[in-house]
Structure 1
Amino acid sequence: MNFRAIALPFGRLLILIALFMCFPAIADLFAGNPDWKVFSVSAVLLVAIGVFINLSLHGEAPPRRFKEAVIFVNLAWFGFSIAGAVPFYLSGLDISFVDAVFETASGLTTTGSTVLTGLDTMPPGILLWRSLLQWIGGIGVVAIGIWLLPGLRIGGSQLFALESSESTAKPYGRVEPFVVRLLVLYAALTVSCTVLYILFGMTPFVALNHAFTTISTGGFSTSDNSFGQFPGTAIYWVAIAYMLAASVPFLFILRSIERKAPIPEPQIPLLLSIIAFATVSIFLAERWVVHDTPFHMFTLAAFNVVSVITTTGYAANDYLQYGAYIACTFFLLTFFGSCSGSTSGGFKMFRIIILFNHIKCTLRGMVRPHRIVEPKYNDAPVSLSVLEGVMVFAILYGGVFALFATLYAMLGLDLETALSASITALANVGPGVGDTIGPSGTFQSLPDTVKWLLAVQMILGRLEILAGIILVTPQFWER
């Protein structure tokens, strides 16, 4: 194994983290908050370590094989979670190191779970750093899906195999042109979202923070009330539109903008259908217990549904107080996720489609044993490798969810909180259900051991599980 292929890019990553820390340092400096020194010292320290690594291993970067790529990605996410926690820990927040790591991991994985309260009066540097972590994590998720996951044949491979087909060239020939277009699209969505937020009543600083966390489907806010701090309904529909935009395949958006004929994407109609059904059913259920104008109620229902299914995690109100049916519906929506090739987490719509078609074909085969029936996606047969990858992921998804929920219950959490915490971390959603970690609560009161496990589970979810689990298999380390 060539460790230079791992250490060199990791050293450069530390320098990149340090550069991003300059922005909250500047924000605190202009606000007269002493935390600017914390961000500055942290940035200098990370630059020093990064430069030392690069100078020590100076030379042409060696070719990175699949094994080195997997190790680097795991090291990058866990290392970033530790390095990014330093400003939280040393700042005036007066929180423990485990809380700092939890907040950083939650931000970087765009989960949106938090241990912090008093956001309304928090220094601007801390608020900006939380939002930047999610914005960086959002683009990082899509990049990993393009670069690493194809080799695992469990998530990213399906993205190109299904959208580009195995018999034709990839949409942009090489990955690099696509990444450039992706970065431009990501920045354009962020800027336009910021502008619209400002037009509909947010201050520029609040708008920028929420644009970062909307486009990344992260869900961190600048207020303990999340989106409940904003009056009216127009700003909610802006958020709904951009959460949906960030939850569909970015390749589909790029081809549509460039006026290339976008390949039909079955994930999008399924996503919109689930959103429509859940929104209407929740709206009708709430009308029995809530006395409000119908349009405002429908807006809040749509906002909360889109926020959960896109794994953003914003909250407009405490929707769990309206009955068991609504709480159960939101709990089930946590499992879904949005589309592959987006910033959203969760199980993903394309896997649901493939599994449903496979079940349908199996049942047809039982009725007519001599008839050859194969599952399809987009009217094209699903290859055996793709089907096996989806099946393996489904088993791992359920197994990891159950394992961590059991661990949380053993560590003292009640059953509702344990189940909810496990799936909200694995799917990178943010708020769970229940009084403790629901939309109106935080993860602050959970035991430290649970917070460490949740941080690991959030990263596992963002790495599509297998990219993390594969490190503990003996075969991976064989020569």
Structure 2
Amino acid sequence: MTLPAMADAVAAHADWQVFLVSGLVLGTTGGLIALAFRGEKPPSGFREAIVFVTAAWFAFSIAGAIPFYSGNLGLGFTDAFFEAASGLTTTGSTVLTGLDSFPPGILLWRALLQWIGGIGVIVLGIWLLPALRVGGSQLFALESSEKTTRPYGRITPFVYRLLILYGGLTLSCMILYLICGMSFFNAVVHTMTTVSTGGFSTSDQSFGQFQGTAVYWVATVFMLLSSLPFLYLIRSLERRRFTPDIQVVLLLAFVTSASFGVFFFERYIVHDTPFHMFTLAVFNVVSIITTTGYAANDYLRFGPAVIVIFFVLTFFGGCSGSTAGGFKMFRIAILTAYIHALLRRMIRPHRIAAPRYQGQAVSDNVLEGVLVFAVLYTGSFAGFSLIYMMLGLDLETALSASGTALANVGPGVGNTIGPSGTFQSLPDAAKWSLAIEMILGRLEILGGILLLTPDFWCD
């Protein structure tokens, strides 16, 4: 919280005191807790890890909400918690309007929450979620000679490489934004929210505030890079060669086909140069499929077909082991291989046709995990949609809100929570439910659901 305090102090805004006091109180509390348990060996079992991570996500959201609640924004605690949870989970949904006139400290704090949440999501996805066996971690054994799902055996060398890559992407993106004409502050904020695939911006217009096409292509490239498996990027850079990966190819195929689809319908509505229209189509598609949530324009006015495309893209997500949310391309590839194997066995019942990924047979454990996750993902989406409709939301808004929260995308579809709207008008009960669903989506669903089962608490 020191950085936003400094930004507000330089801008002579009184909120610097809020950040400073909040930082001192939370820092002192954390220090005292650390001293109280100094020398104590924490329990390191599976159950303790799930409880710790779930509790930490809520605790950090509460801590992140303090500046929103205590500042001059006039937010209630519900809105403050919603904004903080949306930031840390890199969802990008917001209850704030009038961002163009906000003090720099709040804008920087929102970006910092997403930047920190982005790297936390990667570590979470690679080091904790393998124990859940939900089909999102086994891909890290990229070579048949590797017997472990955890890279480099220990967390220290992996985190070292991860920080270098994450920092390198951040620095490169910021430099290119500056070259494209962004101010230094805008470049810093948007860099953090781009590499974390978070989507918070400094303006109600989101990326629509920037002119030209170069800045959109820079954002598109770094959104795509951040939605690729970070372990895949690390190993590719170490080996100095990029090997084909099914989920990466699948992501690029979806981006290409959806971009041309949106461009096809857009050209009948917007009167602009073809290249600029195509640039905006690609940018918006990449923003949604990588669960970043930037908006270059109100793409929902391009007609029902485009609305359907973006609604479907909401569920896809990026690759496993990235900052992106959603169902993930790895699971889509596994399900596709499984369906193909089933069809082949139906044609020739005596044929042995096992689903394969990267040329290797998919084990029963991986397949079981993917199928369980698919069922839970669908059930959670439907269940939360029903809750939102019971709270007074119309069908379109309820379905869109549930999908965008579970997939950690940000904007939904419709007039209320679309790319040109916010979540401010929703009832408080819906905002709390959405915040919980965001965290549930970040925990790959099963982590949160396990806490509700009696067997989880029994020895």
The size of the alignment, in residue pairs, is 458
**1:120 to 2:104 alignment:** no
Are the equivalent residues in 1 in contact too, given 2:165–2:234 (CA < 8 A)? yes
Are the equivalent residues in 2 in contact too, given 1:428–1:458 (CA < 8 A)? yes
Q: Deviations over 1:221-251 (max 9, x none)?
A: 0000000000110100000000000001111
For residues 404 and 166 of structure 1, do their structure 2 counterparts lie closer, same or farther at Cα, with a shift above 3 Å needed? farther
Letter in 2 for 1:127: L
Given the alignment, which residue of 426, 436, 451 partners 1:446? 426
2:32 corresponds in structure 1 to 52
Q: CA deviation at 1:65?
A: 1.4
2:165 corresponds in structure 1 to 185
Q: CA deviation at 1:198?
A: 0.7
1:139 corresponds in structure 2 to 119
Q: Deviations over 1:18-61 (max 9, x none)?
A: xxx11101111111111011111111111121122122222143
Indicate the SS of the match to 1:258. helix
Q: Distance in 2 between matches of 1:36 and 1:155?
A: 44
Q: Distance in 2 between matches of 1:166 and 1:361?
A: 25
In the superposition, the TM-score normalised over structure 1's length comes to: 0.94
Q: CA deviation at 1:168?
A: 4.2
User: 1:407-446 counterparts in 2 under 5 A?
Assistant: 407-446=387-426
Are the equivalent residues in 1 in contact too, given 2:107–2:202 (CA < 8 A)? yes
Q: Distance in 2 between matches of 1:55 and 1:198?
A: 43
Indicate the SS of the match to 1:391. helix
Q: Distance in 1 between matches of 2:421 and 2:333?
A: 34
Indicate the SS of the match to 2:451. helix
Are the equivalent residues in 1 in contact too, given 2:137–2:320 (CA < 8 A)? no
Q: Distance in 2 between matches of 1:80 and 1:305?
A: 31
Are the equivalent residues in 2 in contact too, given 1:313–1:430 (CA < 8 A)? yes
Q: CA deviation at 1:172?
A: 2.6
**1:105 to 2:85 alignment:** yes
**1:375 to 2:355 alignment:** yes
Q: Distance in 1 between matches of 2:254 and 2:244?
A: 18
How many percent identity over aligned positions?
64
Letter in 2 for 1:474: P
Are the equivalent residues in 2 in contact too, given 1:146–1:175 (CA < 8 A)? no
1:351 corresponds in structure 2 to 331
Q: Distance in 2 between matches of 1:165 and 1:89?
A: 51
Indicate the SS of the match to 1:299. helix
Q: Distance in 1 between matches of 2:144 and 2:327?
A: 22
2:298 corresponds in structure 1 to 318
Q: Which deviates more from structure 2 when the two are superposed, residues 108-117 or residues 361-370?
A: 361-370
Q: CA deviation at 1:334?
A: 0.4
Given the alignment, which residue of 246, 250, 253 partners 1:270? 250
Q: Distance in 2 between matches of 1:137 and 1:450?
A: 23
Q: CA deviation at 1:254?
A: 1.1
CA-based RMSD: 1.2
1:72 corresponds in structure 2 to 52
User: 1:280-299 counterparts in 2 under 5 A?
Assistant: 280-299=260-279
Q: Distance in 1 between matches of 2:61 and 2:162?
A: 24
User: 1:383-422 counterparts in 2 under 5 A?
Assistant: 383-422=363-402
1:10 corresponds in structure 2 to none
Q: Distance in 1 between matches of 2:188 and 2:49?
A: 33
Q: Distance in 2 between matches of 1:167 and 1:147?
A: 16
**1:86 to 2:62 alignment:** no
Are the equivalent residues in 2 in contact too, given 1:28–1:35 (CA < 8 A)? yes
Q: Distance in 2 between matches of 1:418 and 1:158?
A: 33
Q: CA deviation at 1:175?
A: 2.8
Name structure 1 gaps, 5 residues minimum.
1-20
Letter in 2 for 1:357: A
Given the alignment, which residue of 47, 61, 78 partners 2:41? 61
For residues 345 and 44 of structure 1, do their structure 2 counterparts lie closer, same or farther at Cα, with a shift above 3 Å needed? same
Q: Distance in 1 between matches of 2:331 and 2:246?
A: 11
Indicate the SS of the match to 1:314. coil
1:228 corresponds in structure 2 to 208
Letter in 2 for 1:466: L
Are the equivalent residues in 1 in contact too, given 2:136–2:330 (CA < 8 A)? no
Q: CA deviation at 1:143?
A: 0.4
Q: Deviations over 1:402-437 (max 9, x none)?
A: 000000001000000000000000000000000000
User: 1:451-462 counterparts in 2 under 5 A?
Assistant: 451-462=431-442
Q: CA deviation at 1:301?
A: 0.3
Q: Distance in 1 between matches of 2:433 and 2:53?
A: 19
Given the alignment, which residue of 233, 243, 259 partners 2:239? 259
Q: CA deviation at 1:262?
A: 5.0
Q: Distance in 2 between matches of 1:151 and 1:397?
A: 18
Q: CA deviation at 1:155?
A: 4.0
Q: CA deviation at 1:64?
A: 1.4
Letter in 2 for 1:467: G
**1:250 to 2:217 alignment:** no
Q: CA deviation at 1:67?
A: 1.1
Indicate the SS of the match to 2:164. helix
Q: Distance in 2 between matches of 1:63 and 1:462?
A: 23
Q: Distance in 1 between matches of 2:303 and 2:105?
A: 38
2:192 corresponds in structure 1 to 212
Given the alignment, which residue of 279, 282, 286 partners 1:306? 286
Q: Distance in 2 between matches of 1:285 and 1:118?
A: 31
Indicate the SS of the match to 1:242. helix
For residues 386 and 335 of structure 1, do their structure 2 counterparts lie closer, same or farther at Cα, with a shift above 3 Å needed? same
**1:34 to 2:14 alignment:** yes
Indicate the SS of the match to 1:84. helix
1:4 corresponds in structure 2 to none
Q: CA deviation at 1:256?
A: 1.8
Indicate the SS of the match to 1:236. helix
Q: Distance in 2 between matches of 1:165 and 1:459?
A: 33
Q: Distance in 2 between matches of 1:182 and 1:209?
A: 21
Indicate the SS of the match to 1:58. coil
Q: CA deviation at 1:252?
A: 1.5
